[in-house]
Chain A
Amino acid sequence: GAGVSQSPSNKVTEKGKDVELRCDPISGHTALYWYRQSLGQGLEFLIYFQGNSAPDKSGLPSDRFSAERTGGSVSTLTIQRTQQEDSAVYLCASSLSAGAGVPGHFGDGTRLSIL
């Protein structure tokens, strides 16, 4: 597609459930980022993938969070045993390469609400 695609656009789930968020980056983009945007706060870096290199997981807030990127394209962010503080908009971004140092293209995000 023309842009970064994220699904679902909205997700409501009960506390304690697991959720999976999907990101389909722009074709050919080797760098992929996940960010979290909480109400009234800026964006919080979660994880970064670059090609076949080991991902930079330094931003993941707890071991309940994990992400993978299959075949260098689609990425899935998984949150296990969700908590209310996980409620946020989760944004995915991609870039042609890491050399730009910039997540250049963002998806519209997944709005996650934990009841």
Chain B
Amino acid sequence: AQSVAQPEDQVNVAEGNPLTVKCTYSVSGNPYLFWYVQYPNRGLQFLLKYITGDNLVKGSYGFEAEFNKSQTSFHLKKPSALVSDSALYFCAVRDITGANNLFFGTGTRLTVIP
């Protein structure tokens, strides 16, 4: 079965500092991995995805994620956090049995402190 885990419910970081939101995955075969962001009272927005190729994936709003096969991780990163980055972040893995579903993590709430 496929799954992702986000070990931290809450991450706090000072504005201007680098941020990392962690995600580990469990999947047989090659994973398709995704990050989404959810701002308050809004739907999810797609940030980036890893399908194949370079392990470092760049996405929207200056975010990037590094695929690490040996550690089965896909951590989301940004070199310099903004207060406006404060939101709920979800990691997801695609259902390898079909194209119809993503399995989402439970989310990590990022708070960037001014």
Contact = CB atoms under 8 A, between A and B. Distances in A.
> Which of B46, B92, B98, B99 has the largest number of chain A CB atoms within 10 A?
B99
B43 A102 contact: no
A108 B85 CA distance: 18
> Which of A35, A40, A43, A106 has the largest number of chain B CB atoms within 10 A?
A43
A98 B100 contact: yes
B74 interface: no
Contacts of B107: 42
A102 B49 contact: yes
Give the bracket for the number of chain A residues in contact with chain B. 20 to 34
Contacts of A58: 100-101
Interface in B34-59: 34, 36, 41-46, 49
18 contacts: A42-B90, A42-B104, A42-B105, A43-B104, A45-B100, A48-B100, A56-B101, A58-B101, A59-B101, A91-B43, A98-B99, A101-B99, A102-B34, A102-B46, A104-B46, A105-B46, A106-B36, A108-B42
Interface of A: 4, 6, 33, 35, 40-45, 48, 50, 56, 58-59, 91, 93, 98-99, 101-109
